[in-house]
Structure 1
Amino acid sequence: MNQEQKKKYLSIKEMGQKRGVSSKTLRYYDSIGIFKADYVDPDTGYRYYDPQQYEKLGTILELRSLNFSLNEIKGYFTERNMKKSVDMLKEHYKLLEEEIRSKQRLAETIKEKIDFIDKVIDNNIELEKFSFEDFPERFIISQLNKSDKSGESVALEFMHLESHLHETAPILASDRIGFYMDFDDISEMENVDNWHTMIMCSEEMKNSRHFCVLPAGKYLCAYFKDYTADRDLFIKMFLEYVKFNNIKLKGIMIQQFKIDVTVTDDPKETIIEFQALV
């Protein structure tokens, strides 16, 4: 191919620049047969592309953005027809919709966390104040064996529980971890061994031996700060409030970490919420 003919082509660098793709990627696409150069100089090995190939490269990049694998992309361009193409697009469209829903749920969760932290920073969260809140049915996985509840033991229990999740747990943003108790008498709350580590989960975990249901209903709630230093005091305060106000509890209680080591190194900034079904 002479110089005049080469002017009608795009070099590998020019094609890459126009689509924001590296020459290395284009060479790889060529080697696996997804996007081959229209002409390769036999003397220099330089690759040249017909300008009409620009659209095909754009389609490849769009398919990659839809999470098509390289093998799927190769198949997409093999013996194409409308039916084959639309079936492949429909399949990935469903996956994309679910990814969008998942990202939206994560965005909402992170927004809730940000709003809560902002309220704490602005002193708009009332600590040690009791109130009632209605909760829908919720689901947890819980470590039901006895433990010494030392920091190391609890960390291992949380790690064990998280390994059983069938989902990505946004621990940082979602207030999913804490302690759970199913009790017959409220005096059991004062025994540290009666509390069990838990992680909030979806109903999809119902076949797990660790799965538990938190019933829907009205819960007595209160926030407490610097949990690690005054845990026993907070439990005592909670019990005194229950007894003084003659509140009947239904045997379900959780301690849910709202601010913990995922967002602060200062123990005095930690906040836990007590929730007891009434």
Structure 2
Amino acid sequence: MSIGEMARLRGLTTETLRHYDRIDLFKPQYVDPQSGYRYYSIFQYEVLGTIKELRQLGMSLDEIKNYFNERSFSKSSEILKSKHKDLVSKLNELKDLEENIRGKIVYMNHVAKINEFQTVMLREIGRRKLITLNERINNNLELCYGVIRLENMLTEKAPILASNRLGIIIEEADLKTKRFEEPSAIFVVAKNKEKIPEQYQRIVPAGLFACIRYNGELLWNRSKSLNKIFDYLDETDYQIIGDALQIMHVDITITDKPNEIKFEIQVPVQKV
């Protein structure tokens, strides 16, 4: 068979067969010394089929050359077992990534429906484990480096984009003295499977939170919203019982439009 006929039989290109010849992976049965044309035997059909199948399994050309080198049942079996283990690992990674992205789409659909801003509401929120560097952030430059360090501590795929897991911790002492613009530590809400050293963990107990959402491009512009929360607490006889969280609902990872950026402040409270 000509190189074109063999290529068509296996759904490959003639350039692929020429490349296989050059690297001594799959050589023609005969090469015409005058024309240089390559000719193949039908009996080479299964060898080429095996190469194609191994490529579909994700094996490199060097791995395939090794596969054909002094083949035996035990050697082939071990190679396929190793490749199967790699494929299972990749499938699990893809499964985690798909679940992560699906959750983000659900979250973004939810956020798109939010239209209540600068209104204080009480919400019960469950227990959360935070990952934090325990370092106060003074400006946007420190914020950028801090977020990078936090992301590098996570093992999950696409963890921060389009989520409500990134934010800052507003210390209770700063709240009670109304130092609302003080530097604050950043955090990421951890998922259960994350194994993080204890010195970087902080637990936020489940409880009642006074919450307010607001639009704004800058993380630090929170005084107006916090003052509204304080006014609400004074009117309803609630008191602050811990550190507050400022959550980034929509940030620069998913929009360039300042009016689309959304934050939520959550202050833990109890009835006086």
The verdict on a shared fold, with TM-score over 0.5 as the criterion, is yes
CA–CA distance in structure 2, aligned partners of residues 59 and 72 of structure 1: 13
In structure 2, which of residues 120, 126, 133 is the aligned counterpart of residue 134 of structure 1? 126
**Residue 100 of structure 2 contacts residue 157 of structure 2 at CA under 8 Å; is this kept in 1?**
no
Classify the secondary structure of the residue corresponding to 1:172.
coil
1:225·1:272 contact (CA, 8 Å) conserved in 2?
A: yes
Deviation readout 1:11-32 (Å, 9 max, x if unpaired): 1x44444444443333333333
2:250 corresponds to 1:259: yes
Instruction: Kindly indicate whether residue 81 of structure 2 is the aligned counterpart of residue 90 of structure 1.
Output: yes
**Equivalent residue for 1:80?**
71
| Alpha-carbon separation, structure 1, partners of 2:177 and 2:43 | 75
Task: Report the more deviating stretch, 158-167 or 60-69.
Answer: 158-167
State how far apart, in whole Å, the 1-side matches of 2:106 and 2:182 are. 34
Distance 1:265 1:254, change over 3 A: same
Q: Does 1:233 align with 2:246?
A: no
2:124 is the counterpart of 1:148: no
CA 83–32 in structure 1, closer or farther in 2 if over 3 Å, else same: same
Q: Do the aligned residues in 1 keep the contact of 2:17 with 2:26 (CA within 8 Å)?
A: yes
Where in structure 2 are the equivalents of 1:23-172 lying within 5 Å? 23-121=14-112, 123=113, 126-127=116-117, 128=119, 129-135=121-127, 137-140=128-131, 142-149=132-139, 151-163=140-152, 168-172=157-161
Distance of 1:51 and 1:216 partners within structure 2: 71
Distance 1:237 1:163, change over 3 A: same
Paired with 1:47 and 1:277, the residues of 2 have a C-alpha distance of: 77
Query: Aligned partners of 1:99 and 1:64: how far apart in 2?
Result: 16
Q: Could you tell me whether the CA contact under 8 Å between 1:134 and 1:216 is conserved in 2?
A: yes
Q: Unaligned 5+ residue runs, structure 1?
A: 1-8
Query: How many residues are treated as equivalent by the alignment?
Result: 263
Are the equivalent residues in 2 in contact too, given 1:143–1:196 (CA < 8 A)?
Answer: yes
Equivalent residues of 1:225, 1:268 under 8 A apart? no
TM-superposed deviation, 1:75: 1.8
Cα 1:113–1:56, aligned 2, differ >3 Å: closer, same or farther?
Answer: same
| Higher deviation after alignment, 66-75 or 46-55 | 46-55
Matching of residue 217 in structure 1 with residue 206 in structure 2: yes
3-state DSSP of counterpart to 2:126: strand
Q: 1:220 to 1:103 in 2, by over 3 A?
A: farther
Whether 1:180 and 2:169 are equivalent positions in the alignment is: yes
1:43-78 C-alpha deviation (Å, 9 max, x unpaired): 333333333444433433333343323322222222
Using structure 1 for the length normalisation, give the TM-score: 0.73
TM-superposed deviation, 1:139: 4.7
- Kindly indicate whether residue 263 of structure 2 is the aligned counterpart of residue 272 of structure 1: yes
- The runs of 5 or more residues in structure 2 that have no matched partner are none
State the Cα deviation string for residues 92-111 of structure 1 (Å, max 9, x = none): 22222222222222222222
TM-score, normalised on structure 2?
Answer: 0.75
Cα-Cα RMSD = 3.5
Shift of 1:161: 4.1
Structure 2: distance between partners of 1:114 and 1:95: 29
